[in-house]
Amino acid sequence: FRYQPLTEALDDVPFTVLTEVAPTPWNPNTVLLRVGVNGKVIEQDSVAPVNLVFLVDVSGSMRSHARLGLVKKSLRILVNDLNDDDTVSLVTYAGQSGVVLEPTSAGKKQKILDAIDQLAAGGGTNGASGIKTAYALAHENLLDNGVNRVLIATDGDFNVGVTGHQELMRIIETERERGVSLTTLGFGSGNYNDHLMEQLADKGNGNHAYIDTLHEARKVLVEQRGATFHTIAKDVKIQIE
């Protein structure tokens, strides 16, 4: 049995649902149900201007080519694909947060790339402080008819800070209502906390991706940029009975 209520995602329909039911090969008394949800594709030529704030973890745990090294290469790929009417800011956090690059037009690519190249790891991790600084920069250049988003690049080790995870969630939810969404990008392994990163992205009306190669970075940040940065539906719940 195959049921497909919509054959394509129309302009006013954010996603389609496809369900399939088939006999279970190893148990004739049961069936398997597959539910697929396909989001509307945002074409590159119809993408709205973006106001991006990169929030990069430069704590000591990020000191490796597979972590901060890969973050820098990934951000370079993204910057080179941005349009001149897009805006980029760069914030780092370790023991303290700091603004590396004020809101800058993506037309000034070399200036942005130079700021990314100077990033170096060392110190503790104060994720809450960095998030507050990143959101403040996002509001400095808020786009009414564009995409306003903070991108966190980290190994997920939020181990220093006075606020705790619940306070982080509250901050992100508040900023979501003010028009700034959140994407979390995970790097490295070992102490990587994917559960926390997914929670943060969920609270921020954003998405989460794990990047372990440049190929994956190009897929998430360039080839699927429309899906990564643009929210097609909010507060969507799917229930299966």
Between residues 43 and 184, which one has the greater pLDDT? 184
User: Is the pLDDT confidence value at 68 over 70?
Assistant: yes
User: Is the pLDDT confidence value at 7 over 50?
Assistant: no
Mean of pLDDT values over 163-178: 84
Whether residue 121 contacts residue 87, with contact meaning beta carbons closer than 8 Å, is answered with: no
Mean of pLDDT values over 188-203: 79
pLDDT of residue 44: 63
pLDDT of residue 193: 66
- For 179-200, letters b (16+ CB in 10 Å) and e give bbbbbbbbbbeeebbeebbbbb
- Predicted confidence band of residue 165 (pLDDT cuts 50, 70, 90): confident
- What is the rounded CA–CA span in Å between residue 81 and residue 217? 12
pLDDT of residue 1: 46
- What is the rounded CA–CA span in Å between residue 80 and residue 93? 24
**SS3 state at 187:** coil
Mean of pLDDT values over 167-184: 91
**Among residues 76, 90, 81, 86, which one has the least CA distance to residue 106?**
86
pLDDT of residue 179: 92
Mean of pLDDT values over 119-127: 70
Mean of pLDDT values over 163-184: 87
Q: Residues of the chain with pLDDT > 90: what percent? A: 46
Mention every residue, 6+ apart, whose C-beta is less than 8 A from residue 197.
152, 154, 156, 184, 186, 208
The highest-confidence range among 14-23, 65-74, 126-135, by mean pLDDT, is 65-74
User: Is the pLDDT confidence value at 135 over 90?
Assistant: yes
Element of type H or E holding 164: helix 164-177
- Predicted confidence band of residue 6 (pLDDT cuts 50, 70, 90): very low
- Strands (DSSP E) contained in 94-163 are 97-105, 147-154
User: Is the pLDDT confidence value at 9 over 60?
Assistant: no
pLDDT of residue 107: 94
The string of DSSP codes covering 189-218 is SSS--HHHHHHHHHHTT--EEE--SHHHHH
Mean of pLDDT values over 143-172: 79
Q: Residues of the chain with pLDDT > 70: what percent? A: 84
The string of DSSP codes covering 39-90 is EPP--GGGPPPEEEEEEEE-SGGG-SIIIIIHHHHHHHHHHHH--TT-EEEE
Element of type H or E holding 135: helix 127-140
pLDDT of residue 162: 46
Mean pLDDT of the chain: 84
